[in-house]
Structure 1
């Protein structure tokens, strides 16, 4: 079972960076808070939602003003700030002010798509949102967790991938990429197939699950069974405190954002594919001779097929 699940902001090396430096993007802190939202208490979630929606406003608000805005007590605000890894509300305000200062001015691109938007506006908003998801994923993806997952995937044991719906497409994408560099693996798009494979895994094997929420029953039981059998478990998820994250040995955090016409499953896809690409490239780098030869051979085979 995973012993270093990314905790609240400030609890680990990755989160410390998010809290004190706001990462490479002005949205790093709010992206981290967004990922923790499902795991917070109702009062803390109301405060966190305000942080995600308008960090600049929270940074400008006194503790009494924020208490009124969130409909919570001042003590709840202090507890929430501490849960996010800060000594108190003043420190959280400073971090949010710094984060807001690094962000571009708010514009219509940051709002959801509406029925009145033109086609050009839809394109602009989608491109903005997905570009933002890529940048935020870079701030949330822990290099140490990624390195551990890469070592596991590079091992010689069985490798099974699981994901349902949109997450299943991401698992299939990783399976196809790894197959091109000579790392055989199996991608499962339904719970029964994932479970019957997971129970047969043991030491040296790897089970990797993709789940936006980290709470999908279709992957939780296979994760438990794979872990119980001694396999290394890896999870790609938007929520670092989810059940799946707590079950996994390595957690790779993505940062997709939901909008009006893009529910979680769709919003997570681009950011999950960024994580998959990072994992794949690191595996190919670590197994450079085998991977480069496999890519040459498969490329030549495809080119020959096209010529024929």
Structure 2
């Protein structure tokens, strides 16, 4: 595009700006692009023209009318808009398409690794040892720990609960027994801790669990990404982190790394409770016949 021409933020801006120059073929091409923005960012000009039923050179002419040097530059614009995000990123297909777009430049595995490394490096600047200690102190002083995560965070909920149980803590994975939440929480009290894991969106169920904890006087810890940061009422302690930019892999390594740090710090402050429990568990596991081949 002309470097003196301010860059539009969306395809709709381009269409409005150049509407008087567009032909019937342009309109057919734009209909195809607008109806499927994910595929539009992936296809070349020939493929788009074929789907629109116009001459293969029509896509190039459209790109030039919109101010681009050619269709590759226009396609890069569409890809950039996909990777910036927006409503399309509520769609898993859109998020995956954006990651594939990014991977075209340097390879799929390299792009995933770069995304994970960048997200982990951001944690250095956004989470402190004091944040980790606030979590571990509440866990250490609790009677029981209720861990809740759904969707992608359900895997972390199960793993965190497993590690806490092996460290000698009475932990319950609420994410694994959603149908029995009333039974699990019927004796919830001020001596317990609720640890919430929520990414992308905060579901009504998370808000209800937080409300119950507040009513019972229990402490709530929340590990969230930036898009799901708002919980009402606010938890006593919350760590909100970025799991990756739009168009990048939304890391589960980042929250798991923070959870691992919390559990490690817990072992540092609980007067040997975690270490003793781990030794006892290892001894029991070695002498029992409960291991599945």
TM-score range, shorter chain: 0.5 to 0.7
CA distance in 2, matches of 1:122, 1:303: 41
Report deviation, 1:272: 0.9
Per the alignment, residue 251 of structure 1 pairs with 238
Does the CA-based 8 Å contact 2:144-2:169 persist in structure 1? no
In 2, the alpha carbon distance for the partners of 1:132 and 1:176 equals 28
* SS of equivalent residue, structure 1 residue 113: helix
Cα drift, residue 115 of structure 1? 6.2
Q: Deviations over 1:217-270 (max 9, x none)?
A: 2211111111111000010001288332752000022320155484xxxx1411
**Equivalent runs, 1:19-168 vs 2, <5 Å:** 113-114=99-100, 117=103, 121-168=107-154
TM-score normalised by the chain length of structure 2: 0.58
Q: Does 1:274 align with 2:254?
A: no
* Structure 2: runs of 5+ lacking an equivalent: 11-82, 84-97
Alignment partner of 1:243: what SS?
A: coil
* Structure label with greater radius of gyration: 2
Pick from 229, 242, 248 the counterpart of residue 242 of structure 1.
229
Higher relative contact order (CA 8 A, sep 6+): 1
> How far 1:201 moved relative to its partner?
1.6
Specify every segment of 5 or more residues in structure 1 that has no aligned partner in the other structure, as ranges: 1-64, 72-110
Say which SS state the counterpart of residue 272 (structure 2) adopts: helix
CA distance in 2, matches of 1:116, 1:218: 34
Aligned-pair distance for 1:142? 3.8
Residue 283 (structure 2) pairs with residue 300 (structure 1): yes
Shift of 1:194: 4.1
Counterpart Cα distance in 2 of 1:291 and 1:122: 40
Using the size of structure 1 for normalisation, the TM-score is 0.56
Aligned residues between the structures: 200
C-alpha RMSD of the superposition: 3.4
Q: For 1:78-102, what per-residue CA distance to the aligned partner results, in whole angstroms no more than 9, with x for missing partners?
A: xxxxxxxxxxxxxxxxxxxxxxxxx
